[in-house]
């Protein structure tokens, strides 16, 4: 075994005893704003150092986290020498993604994308900012009330997208006959809704959508549910944790038709029914009456919505209607796909969005601790509301926030640590350029490298290597470099050796 490079560098002894002085970040009072920043907390600059300083747990071997400010020049008469401190929290209902949270988000999105790939879907995206009218034509009253909307400088009414499906419809109309049907598209995009926040519900979230355009058969819905089941299995969620409630908007249509409820009231009735588990039943009845339903129609409707058996529903509605036929086919396909244990019939599921026309489904936490995890359905008539030609379509939306809460609840949240293949360190200031050369060679070969950019003690370097889960440490020392070699230490085994730069892989 070749001797360790650690013992061969003449500069190593000095490095081991080197202590880097703390670095201070100097704050100066901004004098280039015409008006002051929004004030959240006003405090004298002399308090900044004590408010933000923190001790160096490495005994001075690392950079200090302290912020210090020199005395400000004397204020002019009548001038207040204060620093206005901004609120460091993100806006209510939104999130920061520091590295550890970003790694979790990337892990989640990777699984979204990988499942979409397995099912042959292509990725698309749309602007976060859309025309306000896109979301108020056929979305539902709840979304209208939750829009982040405003008038831009061109006097156009715009909104941050609350969901992705209307944008998808707009793009399909734009592309027109150039598209070859059927389409299997997916997107992972940021959405905004100004709503009351609960566990797993934020005003800003990311959503995974999968949509099938141009397939009128229930096979499309069966495929979409299969993809969500596949996703759950990939991340460790089982049928005992999550289920899918399935129904059809056509069930509701048949009941309303029996009682001569106008088609214009259909969307409003759906939105009211979607609140059944959120508000008292008396309030539901009151709202249904306000849209023109008779007491008899309301009682009959609530009775049908309480049905949890497809057989029982068939006894009430008969076996000739489209709703029963579609649902029977879906449950038959579920057996072929192998996810029968994941789905159950529930007539109360209608989904709150006004554009659904057929099968609807909703993923739920079987313990009932969380809100709906995901949901979707068929929307065959959405495109005509934007002036296009209707095309059979169905899809789902799957938010990022609720699934993370479920993983926490089940103890399945992965620890996604940082992983870097190499950490490269020069053992002498004069060798910083040589270390950069080594890093460049490895990066050109596709390997990740954390290059130590400052003169640091080896103790610090080893701590850094542990924190980033580096596979190996590469040390550039004077003696070795003169021979065209570097020192390598495999951190998992402790093995160390010297190697020619040309042979470094």
Cβ atoms 187, 125 nearer than 8 A: yes
Is 119 annotated to bind a ligand? Reply is no
Is 471 annotated to bind a ligand? Reply is no
Give residue for tokens 């008969």: 318
Is 207 annotated to bind a ligand? Reply is yes
- As beta bridge partners, residue 217 has none
Is 379 annotated to bind a ligand? Reply is no
At 42 the three-state DSSP class reads: strand
Task: Tell how many helices (H) and how many strands (E) occur in the chain.
Answer: 17, 20
Is 355 annotated to bind a ligand? Reply is yes
Is 145 annotated to bind a ligand? Reply is no
Region for residue 94 given its phi and psi (left: phi exceeds 0; alpha: psi -120 to 50; beta: otherwise): beta
Tokens linked to 272: 């009211």
Residues 84 and 41: their CA atoms lie apart, in Å, by 7
DSSP 138-205: SS-HHHHHH-EEEE-TTS-EEEE-S-SHHHHHHHHHHHGGGS-SSEEEEEEEEEE-----BTTB-SEE
Cβ atoms 392, 380 nearer than 8 A: yes
Residues 55 and 390: their CA atoms lie apart, in Å, by 65
The backbone torsions φ and ψ at residue 448, rounded to the nearest 5 degrees and listed phi first, read -80, 140
In degrees, to the nearest 5, what angle opens at C-alpha 231 toward C-alphas 229 and 237? 75
Contacts of 334 (CB under 8 A, 6+ apart): 222, 225, 340, 342, 343
Contacts of 472 (CB under 8 A, 6+ apart): 421, 422, 423, 488, 489, 490, 491
Residues 232 and 222: their CA atoms lie apart, in Å, by 16
Is 146 annotated to bind a ligand? Reply is no
Annotated binding site for L-histidine: which residue ranges?
163-165, 193, 207, 211, 351, 355-356
Annotated binding site: which residue ranges?
163-165, 193, 207, 211, 351, 355-356
């Amino acid at each position: 075994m070749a001797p360790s490079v650690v013992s061969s560098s003449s500069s190593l002894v000095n490095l081991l005893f080197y202590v880097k002085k703390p670095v201070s970040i100097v704050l100066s009072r901004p004098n280039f704003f015409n008006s002051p920043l929004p004030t959240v907390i006003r405090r004298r600059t002399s308090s900044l150092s004590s408010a933000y300083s923190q001790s160096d747990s490495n005994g001075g071997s690392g950079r200090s986290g302290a912020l210090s400010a020199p005395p400000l020049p004397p204020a002019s008469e009548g001038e207040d020498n204060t620093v206005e401190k901004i609120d460091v929290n993100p806006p209510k209902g939104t999130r920061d993604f520091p590295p550890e949270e970003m790694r979790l988000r990337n892990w989640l999105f990777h699984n979204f994308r990988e499942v979409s790939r397995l099912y042959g879907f292509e990725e698309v995206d749309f602007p976060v900012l859309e025309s306000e009218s896109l979301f108020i034509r056929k979305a539902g009253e709840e979304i209208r009330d939750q829009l982040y909307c405003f008038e831009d400088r061109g006097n156009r009414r715009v909104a941050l997208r609350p969901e992705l499906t209307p944008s998808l419809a707009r793009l399909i109309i734009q592309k027109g006959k150039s598209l070859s049907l059927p389409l299997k598209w997916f997107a992972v995009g940021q959405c905004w809704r100004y709503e009351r926040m609960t566990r797993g519900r934020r005003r800003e979230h990311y959503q995974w959508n999968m949509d099938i355009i141009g397939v009128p058969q229930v096979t499309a819905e069966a495929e979409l549910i299969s993809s969500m089941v596949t996703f759950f299995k990939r991340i460790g969620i089982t049928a005992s944790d999550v289920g899918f409630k399935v129904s059809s908007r056509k069930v509701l249509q048949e009941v309303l038709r029996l009682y001569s409820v106008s088609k214009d009231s259909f969307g409003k009735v759906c939105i009211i029914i979607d609140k059944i588990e959120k508000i008292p039943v008396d309030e539901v009845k009151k709202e249904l009456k306000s849209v023109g339903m008779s007491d008899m129609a309301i009682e009959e409707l609530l009775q049908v919505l309480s049905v949890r058996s497809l057989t029982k529903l068939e006894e009430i509605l008969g076996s000739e209607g489209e709703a029963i036929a579609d649902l029977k086919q879906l449950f038959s396909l579920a057996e072929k796909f192998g996810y029968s244990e994941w789905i159950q019939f529930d007539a109360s599921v209608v989904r709150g969005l006004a554009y659904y026309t057929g099968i609807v489904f909703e993923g739920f936490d079987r313990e009932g601790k969380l809100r709906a995890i995901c949901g979707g359905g068929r929307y065959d008539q959405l495109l005509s509301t934007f002036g296009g030609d209707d095309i059979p379509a169905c899809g789902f939306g799957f938010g990022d926030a609720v699934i993370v809460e479920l993983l926490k609840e089940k103890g399945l949240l992965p620890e996604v640590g940082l992983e870097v293949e190499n950490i490269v360190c020069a053992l002498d200031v004069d060798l910083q350029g040589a270390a950069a050369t080594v890093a460049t060679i490895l990066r050109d070969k596709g390997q990740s490298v954390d290059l130590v950019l400052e003169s640091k003690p080896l103790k610090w370097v080893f701590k850094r290597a542990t924190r980033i889960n580096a596979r190996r440490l590469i040390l550039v020392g004077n003696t070795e470099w003169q021979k065209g070699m570097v020192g390598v230490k495999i951190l998992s085994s402790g093995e160390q050796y010297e190697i020619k730069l040309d042979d470094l892989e």
